Amino acid sequence: MSGRGRSYRYVGPVELKAAVRPGDGGRRIVSAADFGGWIVEQSAAELAEPFTFVVGMDGVLRLAPRRSEHVACAGGAMVLSAGEISFMREADRWTVSEVSNQSTGYCPDVSSWAEVARALDDVELRRPSGFTHALLTLLDGQVQLGGEPTARPS
């Protein structure tokens, strides 16, 4: 894994993974320019909701509309993290306003934040210091809301 964190395989409904086709996957965001090109394509209605995200095994952020399945956003592959993410415009730049590890298909641990932070830093997005809404996966596979939200970006 070359210094990367824990990986997560898809554990959701098999029919959702079976529906993923070659070429499916969220938009790869590898630079600030990539993000800038992607964000201007989003409608006001889309920007009002969180987006689906994954961090692929290559450490690259992938984004898709909220109603997209994480497994489709990941192209069916394993991930380093997954969840939902929202953006807001602050002065002359975009920032991450909220981010969670909410993905019942991958169930990433809160420790996957390090991979999310790295992917956001790579594309020069201001971000919070941790998941603003963190879910904890329990040993029995159940998910619960974890801890207090972290501070928003300043």
CB 29 within 8 Å of CB 61: yes
For residue 64, the model assigns a pLDDT of: 95
Asked if residue 133 has pLDDT above 50, the reply is yes
pLDDT surpasses 50 at 146: no
**Radius of gyration, CA atoms only, the chain:** 15
- Predicted TM-score (pTM) of the model is 0.86
pLDDT digits (tens, 9 = 90+) for 2-52: 467 799 999 999 999 999 988 888 999 999 999 999 999 999 999 999 999
